[in-house]
Amino acid sequence: MSSAKIDIKEYQDLLKQYLETKDELVLYQAEQLSKGIKQDVSPDEIIEQHYKALLDISPDLDENIKDSFEFLIQTMTSYALAYKEYHDLRAKQLELKAEIEVAANMQNTLLSTKVPKVNGLDIGVTSIPAKLMNGDYYHFVQDDEGNIGVAIADVIGKGIPAAFFMSMIKYAMESFPENRMYPKIILELLNRVVERNVESGMFVTMFYALYDIHSNEFYYATAGHEPGFIYRADQGEFEEIDAKGLLLGVKKEVKYNQYVDEINEDDLIVLLTDGVTECRDGDRFIEREEVLEVIKEHRNLPAQQIVDHVYKYLERLQDFKLRDDFTLIVLKRNS
Amino acid sequence: MNLHIEDFKEGQVTVLKLAGEIDAYTAPQLKEKLLGLLREENADVQVDLEKVNYMDSTGLGVFISGLKTANEVNSSFTLVNLQENVYRLFNITGLNDVMKIENTIRGGM
């Protein structure tokens, strides 16, 4: 190993000064010098340099002290190797992190969906991954008549595999015909795609809905997804969306129930993934009621601002950390 | 948090007693244990979840893998003594219709 990484001359001068003066200021300078030492200088090299510098200053060093330095340098050998390994791993980790960031960007591009702008229905959405890659997915489509299809899904299993899996779902959905597709049919088709293509242990929950923009009817079906809520403006209360269905990919042929609800003026439809209610505040789990309370409080704002307020509320809680990916969609029927 | 896993025989039934949290960190060891037990042909495993106070979707993944394995080799398992919040997950995902679940604690069923 090269010794040029430590300024040996400077080190020697400082050491000499210190031995002569015992001045604390010199000690401080030594500390400054240590900051300049490159991280790939191993600890045994530093000791070796110290030994050389010391020999230069006092050539008549006691033989025992000389030998003890040889001994110390030998003792440091395996520590030095571990130290080097640590730095190699760190470099590698940075490299991997950069690659994952590229993958996350690619995911954003692959899975991007446009929030439709439509008269009468205001849509807000936020989706934040717990790690770099998001296992949640949401998707909007608008058919020829202007009706809005919305999918919200969560891949069981997190990180990179989940993200790639979601891309598969998206492309399967995009291959469906563009005319009016009812939620029940979409889920049945997707279930077949997922069942055929997944390794065991990876599964998807999805809530799929079709909002009829002309009749204000909300059609939906769920494949094991966390139920959402409808805020009824006339009653000032949330009602849990009552739907049931098996998650995608467990069984080959699954029939899904389809439900329909009427949506009145100023009603809100709240769709979410379980990250929303699994967020942790210290040792406490965030209750769904808390999330709904924040939504209710801001119900008169535009839909996007409502979902942003929820995320800000959660973020402000002390010790808040996302345990799972977080996705929240609010659909608001305008008056 | 940790997951404590213990298994013992009770007659023909293998009891798998779990205590703690089932999440992304503890799921792999549970999966290995559960699938190992289920791969024995005609095995009858009773998974006791009484002391499991938290489970996330990765835990569901483990039991779905268990279901697929059990169907392949003709073994079976039953989930017993589920806490209400844990049962809720099986209910939402519709898995309570395809898995054997008994004795949910504090209502639910």
**Cα-trace Rg, chain B:** 13
Q: Residue B107: is its pLDDT beyond 50? A: no
Give how far Cα B30 sits from Cα of B70, B80, B83, B90, Å. Answer: 15, 16, 18, 17
- Span A116-333 CATH architecture: 4-Layer Sandwich (3.60)
* Residue B92 to residue A154, Cβ atoms within 8 A: no
**Residue B62's closest chain A neighbor by CA?**
A201
Task: Centre a 10 Å sphere on the Cβ of residue B62 and count the other Cβ atoms it contains.
Answer: 24
A234-255 pLDDT tens trace = 999 999 999 999 999 888 889 9
Q: Residue B2: is its pLDDT beyond 60? A: yes
The minimal CB distance from B56 to the residues A200, A251, A278 is found for: A278
The minimal CB distance from B94 to the residues A202, A247, A323 is found for: A247
Query: Average model confidence (pLDDT) for chain B?
Result: 89
Whole-number pLDDT of residue A1: 43
Whole-number pLDDT of residue A169: 83
A94-136 pLDDT tens trace = 998 888 888 778 777 877 888 989 889 999 999 887 776 677 8
Taking the CA of residue B8 and the nearest CA in chain A, the distance in Å comes to: 25
CATH C-level class of A1-112: mainly alpha
Q: Which residue has better confidence, A169 or A333?
A: A333
* Residue B64 to residue A201, Cβ atoms within 8 A: yes
Taking the CA of residue B92 and the nearest CA in chain A, the distance in Å comes to: 5
Residues of chain B in contact with residue A247, where contact means CB-CB under 8 angstroms, are: 60, 93-95
Query: Average model confidence (pLDDT) for chain A?
Result: 85
Output phi, psi for A201, to 5 deg. Answer: 100, -5
Residues of chain A in contact with residue B56, where contact means CB-CB under 8 angstroms, are: 274, 278, 323-324
**The CATH number of the domain where B10 resides is what?**
3.30.750.24
Count of domains observed in chain B: 1
What is the arithmetic mean of pLDDT over A10-39? 86
Residue span of the structural domain in which B21 resides:
3-102
* Residue A157 to residue B58, Cβ atoms within 8 A: yes
Residues of chain B in contact with residue A226, where contact means CB-CB under 8 angstroms, are: 92
Whole-number pLDDT of residue A188: 94
A270-302 pLDDT tens trace = 999 866 555 555 555 667 788 899 999 999 999
Q: Using 50, 70 and 90 to split pLDDT, how confident is the model at B88?
A: confident
**Element of type H or E holding A102:** helix A77-111
Q: For residue A292, what are its two tokens?
A: 């709904």
Whole-number pLDDT of residue A102: 83
Q: Residue A37: is its pLDDT beyond 80? A: no
B51-80 pLDDT tens trace = 998 888 788 889 998 998 898 899 999 999
* Residue B24 to residue A158, Cβ atoms within 8 A: yes
ipTM of the complex model: 0.81
Q: Residue A256: is its pLDDT beyond 90? A: yes
**Residue A199's closest chain B neighbor by CA?**
B65
* Residue A158 to residue B58, Cβ atoms within 8 A: yes
B28-59 pLDDT tens trace = 999 999 999 999 888 999 999 999 988 887 88
Taking the CA of residue A263 and the nearest CA in chain B, the distance in Å comes to: 23
Q: Residue A320: is its pLDDT beyond 70? A: no
Q: Which residue has better confidence, A18 or A34?
A: A18
For chain A, strand residue ranges (E) read 121-128, 136-142, 148-156, 203-212, 217-223, 229-232, 237-240, 259-262, 268-272, 280-281, 284-285, 320-321, 326-333
CA atoms within 13 A on the CB side of A159: 4
The answer as to whether B107 is a domain residue is no
Residues of chain A in contact with residue B60, where contact means CB-CB under 8 angstroms, are: 156, 203, 247
In three-state form (DSSP H/G/I as H, E/B as E, the rest C), the secondary structure along A229-275 is: EEEECCCCEEEECCCCCCCECCCCCCCCCCEEEECCCCCEEEEECCH
The answer as to whether B108 is a domain residue is no
How many residue contacts between A and B have a Cβ separation below 8 Å?
A: 59
Q: Residue A158: is its pLDDT beyond 70? A: no
Q: Using 50, 70 and 90 to split pLDDT, how confident is the model at A178?
A: low
Q: List residues of chain A with CB under 8 Å from any CB of chain B.
A: 154, 156-158, 200-203, 205, 223-227, 244-247, 250-251, 274, 278, 323-324
Whole-number pLDDT of residue B98: 92
A196-216 pLDDT tens trace = 876 656 778 899 999 999 999
Whole-number pLDDT of residue A280: 56
Domains of chain A: which residue ranges? Answer: 1-112, 116-333
Residue B61 CA to residue B27 CA, distance in Å, equals: 9
